[in-house]
Chains A and B, each alone.
Chain A
Amino acid sequence: MTPDGPLLELTGVSKRFGPVQALDRVDFAVHPGEVVGLVGDNGAGKSTLVKTIAGIHTADGGRMRFEGREISVSRPQDATELGIATVYQDLALCDNLDVVANIFLGQEEVSSGPGGISGQLDEAKMEHRAGELLSGLSVTIPSLRTEVGTLSGGQRQQVAVARSLLGEPRVVLLDEPTAALGVPQTKQVLELIGRLRERGLGVVVISHNLANVFEVADRIVVLRLGRTAGDFKAEDTTEEHVVSAITGIGEGAGNGEGGNGEGGEGERR
């Protein structure tokens, strides 16, 4: 694999639920240090695509490559082991537990001493590691021992992202990370996404909010009716082009061929 090759590459991936063709020969790639915005109307297949990458659904056809190797992901654990982390919209945090407990939930560090037999938690080690993770993301949380239920929406999102980084993934999928957040909190989360990019991770952001996507994404992939309906370089395109690709209204969009020509869509009008 060359350094510039994609971290994760999907070629012709299809997924069918009964009569519904949720994904139809979708091509998708994310490179190291790249933020890809995945946009599309409701039912366009965004969630299905993410769940297929995350191992919740298994693709019916097509190929997936990770760091150049052919892979098959049939369980969420497969994706996690490969280094693909997913942060879902509902975050799945326990409000009654503190930040450290949430970050390590299900992967707690156990004492190495005699207490380890009883499954004694190594709180000091976990708190230390959690502190490192969060300060590496320049996250501002008053205390690691704060109950997550008392945090703001943006802080909760940050905790969820930090949690996903525990396994040192290469690719992070974020499902609607800015939904239901206020303006300053949205800014926090977008900055956080920027820092993930600086670390050389491949980041996939699903969002309905085109303004946010344009602010943070290097590349924008549009899905429409289960097909790739556009693949734009963020700096070379405008919201109008992306919207027309999403809706299929206007020229140069909706024919499923957009995936081939990065940034060339503007000329097709």
Chain B
Amino acid sequence: MDVTPETVATAVSHVASARGKGTLPNLMAFARALKQLGIKVSLSQVLDASRSVELVDIGERPDFRALLRANLVSQKEDFPVFDMAFDCFWREQTYERMPMETMEIQGTPTESDAPEGGDEEGGLEEAASEAMANENLQLDNLDEFSVPTYSAQELMNRKDFSEMGVEESRAIARAIMLIATKIATQISRRKKVGRKGNTVDPRWTMRRSMKYGGEVIELVHRKKRIKKTKVVLLCDVSGSMDCYSRFLIQFMYGLQNELWGVETFVFSTSLSRITHLIRTKDIVNALEKISGSILGWSGGTNIGRSLHTFNRNFAPSIVTHRTVVVIISDGWDRGDVSLLEREMQDLKRRAKKIIWLNPLLASENYEPLCKGMQAALPYLDLFLSVHNVNSLVSLGRTLQKMVA
């Protein structure tokens, strides 16, 4: 949700009726306004806030702000929204006399773009209808997401992968093996029980000694265990990526069969899960299956919407703090950039690392200028080139450094 001074004013006006006399009702109303603006606030936090209000002189506005912020907000990203809402909700006059009857829309310091000169009710109505319109808009969007759309502009091509040479795929498979094992075998700090290792595990030593009548004969050690990092591949197969898709499908195939717990998805205008399609050791069959079943190959791109589908339907069950998400795309996006940014932010929060592989990065004078790529950049842990086997090998080295 994009938060502008207008949406803040709307949210504040929505809760106007809930305001009342005393601190707590006002705080509850404020918390509800924050919730509408996308800041999660729990009841216990509100109660603690009201408790702490008694501890400082709330005549000091900055202190009051710091107090509410520390209690109600728990991540830095929400600070700007909180500050806007704070300014709007606890305006000077409200602030001086807490209980207040009505809420005037115009004259709100943050609402600069609102039409001037209307009376109070007009302002309220307008804000309300605006909010309704916004809600309708969002509903429309939702419909669009849930129904797979096939428009005339989308090119439904069936790709033939059969011309892929055996030699070529072997070279790639070797490079992929290197990368895959690097990602797969991270040393964990957690230890597992074993015969060899550098620290003694007293619990298990005691246990084992039982069979010798309590005499310690065997020492049980703990050693560091290999931690499996999960990998999720999101691969762009739209028209602009056409010349790379042959290669990409190799990459996806190789990685998935080398690693435990890889999930593979392809996207263009919509997203499909192909993990089950390439779960086979037989690459020829796999390629046939994919080109046969994916619609929308070589069509347009809507990265934001695809990510949205991913975050909503798949990410909760697949992506954890041990998951590395690899996105392969050139970043040419025909969708909504702000949606893309939001979804990247969401994904970033869930995943351990996000790696973006961009085949265009290889060309000397490439700069990530297209809007989609720019929106995504701040959320990436790694932004790398992937256009031939050599670049894959260097990717392998980079990953090795990253997990070391």
Mutual binders A and B: no
Q: Which residues of B contact A (CB under 8 A)?
A: none
